[in-house]
Amino acid sequence: MSEFKPEKLTVTYLPPASIFNPIDNRKYTLTHSDTTGELFLSVGCHFDLEKINPSMRDEVLGEWRRDLGQYTLAGTVYVSGGEFDQQLSNVRFMIFKKELPLALAAMVNGDKGFYTYYPWLLDAPIIVCFESVFPEYQQTLYFGTPRQYLLK
């Protein structure tokens, strides 16, 4: 896993979202530059679809969801919809699994002020869904809690 470097992260709030609103359906779109290693996080009430590269599909999406009164940070990564063969899908799956802690650290630290207002969310579960047409890569995995990714 690559180490999270806060100086490589650019955060954009998409109005009406702000550092303290909303909680329900708060959405994160994390993209990156392969050449510079920079990370770009958009925080909003909708995913920042303009930032997603439709041919690469290497973004990490996240959103706060409430189910029966409990909040979960639900993530999604796109492995394959059939445009990538099984071998390339396997590579994409392995890369996503390896790099997700970096992506989650960027999401949590990029929206650090949010947790000042809602500290209980630091202990909410993070669940990430890997989307793929290949059953072995169509998985939902637990990735701990935001507290684990917060820089001290």
What's 133's DSSP letter?
S
Confidence band for 3, pLDDT divided at 50, 70 and 90: confident
Q: What is the pLDDT of residue 113?
A: 95
pLDDT tens digit string along 108-126? Answer: 999 999 999 999 999 999 9
Q: Model confidence over 51-95: pLDDT tens digits? A: 998 888 999 999 999 988 899 999 999 999 989 999 999 999 999
Bridge-based pairing state of the strands 9-13 and 70-80:
unpaired
What does the pLDDT look like over 7-66, one tens digit per residue?
A: 999 999 999 999 999 999 999 999 999 899 899 999 999 999 999 988 889 999 999 999
**What pLDDT does residue 12 have?**
97
Q: Tell me the β-bridge partners of 42.
A: 12, 29
Q: What is the DSSP letter of 126?
A: E
Mind giving me the DSSP string for 13-34? Answer: E-TT--SS---TT-EEEEEE-T
pLDDT score at 2: 72
Q: CA angle at residue 96 from 95 to 98, to 5 degrees?
A: 65
Amino acid at 52: I
How many other C-beta atoms lie within 10 A of the C-beta of residue 19? 14
Q: What is the pLDDT of residue 1?
A: 52
Could you tell me the pLDDT band of residue 151, with boundaries at 50, 70 and 90?
confident
Alpha helices in 86-129 (DSSP H): 86-110, 112-117
Read off the pTM. Answer: 0.93
